[in-house]
Amino acid sequence: MSGPKSIIRHETWTIQPDREPDAKPVTHQMKCDVCGDQSGEDGSWEPPQTWVLNHSGQNPSHHSYTEVISRPWRTFMHT
């Protein structure tokens, strides 16, 4: 599990959020915890939150939601 190899790997590789121009966009999505229905993915948090308000309006007993954020990361090796 945590032998010398894993230590070497940890010192050699670094991980960070991918902010390169060709990186996948960060997206936000809302999911209803009651029925599992979900909004579309969007680069802004506003459309998913608007979806939540509309969903609660149509389903007045659905009060719990989970935000799903997709964020690209990349690794690179130290030289």
Q: Which residue is associated with the tokens 């997206």?
A: 27
How far apart (Å, rounded) are the C-alpha atoms in residues 52 and 78? Answer: 43
- Least distance to Zn ion, CB of residue 44, Å: 22
Q: Report 1-30 residues binding Zn ion (CB under 5 A).
A: none
Q: How many CA atoms lie within 13 A of 35 on its CB side?
A: 12
Quick check: 34 binds Zn ion (CB under 5 A)?
Answer: yes
Quick check: 62 binds Zn ion (CB under 5 A)?
Answer: yes
Quick check: 31 binds Zn ion (CB under 5 A)?
Answer: no
How far apart (Å, rounded) are the C-alpha atoms in residues 45 and 67? Answer: 9
Quick check: 53 binds Zn ion (CB under 5 A)?
Answer: no
CB 34 within 8 A of CB 77: no
- Least distance to Zn ion, CB of residue 70, Å: 21
- Residues in contact with Zn ion by CB under 5 A are 32, 34-35, 37, 59, 62
